[in-house]
A and B are shown apart, each in its own frame.
Chain A
Amino acid sequence: EPEVTQTPSHQVTQMGQEVILRCVPISNHLYFYWYRQILGQKVEFLVSFYNNEISEKSEIFDDQFSVERPDGSNFTLKIRSTKLEDSAMYFCASSGASEQYFGPGTRLTVT
């Protein structure tokens, strides 16, 4: 069964460093998303991406964040200068129509 994959599973970085989180969506899906979940809190929408451009973004997705689909398979989230409060699980999701399927997540720890 096709699934969304994410790498790395855990990333530790120092405050102020740049990180890139990687995702491989399900191959025939057209819509891609990033979410985050701070420990013990709800899943929060960051951004959606369709046809090689951002279609929606939340207030959380400020200038420190960017997304890219550098090739036909990968979808990346870059955080330019990490802050302590960026520590969270980051989930990638993809959909063909309306149902979204989530990857296993990357746990980002900023020290």
Chain B
Amino acid sequence: QKEVEQNSGPLSVPEGAIASLNCTYSDRGSQSFFWYRQYSGKSPELIMSIYSNGDKEDGRFTAQLNKASQYVSLLIRDSQPSDSATYLCAPEKTNTGNQFYFGTGTSLTVIP
């Protein structure tokens, strides 16, 4: 089983719609989870962190975490063309000094 699994996409949504990005992870001990956005040729940019089960909202972004199911998701409301990027799920590896697993990412395209 891969450490982090994400649907590679591409995921296409129309402008103004909700984009839903999903991630499953294998490390049952992971306690911290991060979502990064990466534009082509650029570095990962932190957009959300979540540590507890449930939902966490920040502007148009909502992260959802279910540790029992080893599942974390990111919802983007009112999607904009500028949201078109690859979204990387990054759970923290158990018992490490802040080492992350990175998924291969989901490519999102928002169509104007």
Contact = CB atoms under 8 A, between A and B. Distances in A.
A103 B46 CA distance: 11
Given A50-B97, A56-B97, A43 B46 contact: no
Contact count band on A = 20 to 34
Contact of B49 (A42, A55, A98): A98
Interface of A: 31, 33, 35, 41-45, 48, 50, 55-56, 89, 91, 95, 98-105
A99 B88 contact: no
A35 B88 CA distance: 14
Contact of B98 (A42, A43, A95, A103): A95
Closest 3 CB pairs of A and B: A55-B97, A43-B102, A102-B43
Interface in B14-64: 32, 34, 36, 42-46, 49
A38 B61 CA distance: 28
A86 B109 CA distance: 30
Contact of A31 (B42, B46, B98, B103): B98
Contact of B102 (A44, A55, A103): A44
Contacts of A35: 102
B104 A42 contact: yes
Nearest to B95: A56
A103 B43 contact: yes
Contact count band on B = 20 to 34
Contacts of B103: 42
24 contacts: A31-B98, A35-B102, A41-B104, A42-B102, A43-B44, A44-B102, A48-B96, A48-B97, A48-B98, A55-B96, A55-B97, A56-B96, A56-B97, A89-B43, A91-B43, A98-B32, A99-B34, A100-B100, A101-B46, A102-B44, A102-B45, A102-B46, A104-B42, A105-B42
Contacts of B34: 99-100
B102 A48 contact: no
A103 B42 CA distance: 9
A99 B44 contact: no
B103 to A, nearest CB: 7
